[in-house]
Amino acid sequence: MDEETKRLAEEVGTAINESVQQSATVAAAIERLREAGFEMELTLKLEIGLRPQSEDDEAEDGHTAAADFTDEDLRILRAMKIKIEPEEQ
């Protein structure tokens, strides 16, 4: 992986970390644990897998193919403040 790609991947990791740190939902959940008598130590492991895009990955109109997300996938993405646009019908 070249230095620019490493920098971009680190940028994604930093953005996710900052999002979690600034999340009111995460802060509220931690506060509820403290009120229940627990201190929490949170360690998140982020693995970013990269692969070059190929021409086969794009539809004829230039858009990438849609992904199938489970309800759990969508819940986690929403918790991370990542918005998934619904497919246009």
Instruction: Decide if 76 contacts 16 (C-beta within 8 A).
Output: no
Tell me 62's DSSP state: S
pLDDT band at 82 (very low <50, low <70, confident <90, very high): confident
Handedness of CA 19, 13, 84, 79 (dihedral sign): negative
Summarize pLDDT for 20-51 with one digit per residue, the tens.
888 888 889 989 999 999 998 877 777 777 78
Summarize pLDDT for 50-76 with one digit per residue, the tens.
788 876 655 555 555 556 777 777 778
Q: Is residue 57 part of a domain?
A: no
Its pTM stands at 0.48
Q: Is residue 61 part of a domain?
A: no
One-letter amino acid at 3 equals E
Please give the torsion angle defined by the CA atoms of residues 7, 10, 16 and 21, in that order, rounded to the nearest 10 degrees.
Answer: -110
Q: Is residue 30 part of a domain?
A: yes
CA 72 to chain centre: 13
Q: Is residue 75 part of a domain?
A: yes
Domain ranges, residue 45: 1-50+66-89
